[in-house]
Amino acid sequence: MKIKKKHLCLMAVILVVIVILLLFRCCGDQPGIDILDDEIPLGDVFDLALDEEAGERDEVSKEEIVEELNRKVSEGMITISMNLTPTFYDGNSKGNLLIVNENSNNYPQIVQIYENATGRLLYESGLIPVGQTVKQSRLATLLPAGEYHCTACFHNIDPGSGRSLGMAAALIQINVLH
């Protein structure tokens, strides 16, 4: 009885983790920000017709189910890393973004930074390979001195198609000194 309860608890925890990851993948929109860019579409539209070749599932052990679920979860994970308060001397200078596509990621990334108040795109990286860092860069928009509350969107990119496979976001504050 205890073993069955442990397996049920384990399956429940795994399902909760999957639901949380799916929510992170689907959510992240801030009011006033359109982070779904036409140039980087999120996912595909699937035909929901039943597969005529689908049948009963083969008997699979609980360990194999857990292993497959863990593999799927790790495949879709996005580790994001950057300076949460990048500073620019003036609106035209390079700032210390320190964007890292961590070695634990499975895909190259593109990072976009949107100003929360206006929704305008302030920065977009090129393709950042796994294990690479963007230490400094200029903004795409000339900003006057001030503090700007922003959202940094990290897109995992399929290197074959260029399509976004998922996205994670972080709230940051850009500081322009002069």
Strand partners of residue 160: none
Q: Quick one: tokens of 17?
A: 């983790």
* Residue at 73: amino acid letter: V
DSSP state of 70: H
Top-ranked range on mean pLDDT: pick from 36-40, 54-58, 89-93: 89-93
Q: Quick one: tokens of 71?
A: 């593999």
> In the predicted model, is pLDDT for residue 93 greater than 50?
yes
pLDDT digits (tens, 9 = 90+) for 46-72: 555 555 555 555 677 888 888 887 777
Between 21 and 95, the higher pLDDT residue: 95
Query: Which pLDDT score, from 0 to 100, does residue 60 have?
Result: 76
The DSSP string of 28-58 is -PPTT-----TTS-BS-----PPPTT--PPP
Domains defined along the chain, listed by start: 1-40+61-178 (2.60.40.3580)
pTM for the model stands at 0.64
- As a whole number, mean pLDDT of residues 90-115 equals 95
